[in-house]
Amino acid sequence: MAPIQSRAILRKAMPMPPRAEYALRFSKETERRLVRCRASVRAAIRERLESIALAAAKLGRRTKQPGPNEPPLRFYVYEGYRVVYQVDAATRRVVVLDLVAVPS
């Protein structure tokens, strides 16, 4: 009779189920503002948000969360648009809070 392998060895051999990716979430008002932007600006915003969502979904990586006295997370696109977002780990979403044209 062959010896029984320990469960730890079996767990290491089992493939891990894929982690659910983060979804992007826009409010209706923010989505209307996004539709009014040029196609190149929309593509740049989507690309940046998707890279944020992919980074948040990586194993072992803590997502950035602003402190209570810090401004929300944001990035700028072509020095003309400011995108304010929040990474919600509980619902696994990247929520776009605001999209504003920055006056120059």
Two structure tokens written together for 53:
């969502």
pTM of the shown model: 0.71
Which position has the token pair 């969360």?
Answer: 65
Examine residue 31 and state whether it is found in any structural domain, yes or no.
Answer: yes
- Calculate the CA 77 to chain-centre distance: 16
Between these two residues, 20 and 92, which has the higher pLDDT value?
Answer: 92
Examine residue 37 and state whether it is found in any structural domain, yes or no.
Answer: yes
Examine residue 8 and state whether it is found in any structural domain, yes or no.
Answer: no
Examine residue 76 and state whether it is found in any structural domain, yes or no.
Answer: yes
The range of the structural domain enclosing residue 85 comes to 20-101
Examine residue 60 and state whether it is found in any structural domain, yes or no.
Answer: yes
Examine residue 51 and state whether it is found in any structural domain, yes or no.
Answer: yes
Q: How many CA atoms lie within 13 A of 42 on its CB side?
A: 11
Would you state the pLDDT for residue 18? 55
**What Rg value do the Cα atoms of the chain yield, rounded?**
20
Would you state the pLDDT for residue 56? 84
Examine residue 55 and state whether it is found in any structural domain, yes or no.
Answer: yes
DSSP 58: S
> pLDDT digits over 7-18, tens only?
555 455 555 555
Q: Looking at the 3D structure of the chain, how many domains does it have?
A: 1
**Nearest to 85, CA basis, from 59, 63, 69, 104:** 63
> pLDDT digits over 44-93, tens only?
999 999 998 888 888 555 556 666 666 778 999 988 999 999 888 888 89
Examine residue 15 and state whether it is found in any structural domain, yes or no.
Answer: no
Cross-strand partners of 84: 74, 98
Residue 60's domain is classified under what CATH number? 3.30.2310.20
Would you state the pLDDT for residue 2? 57
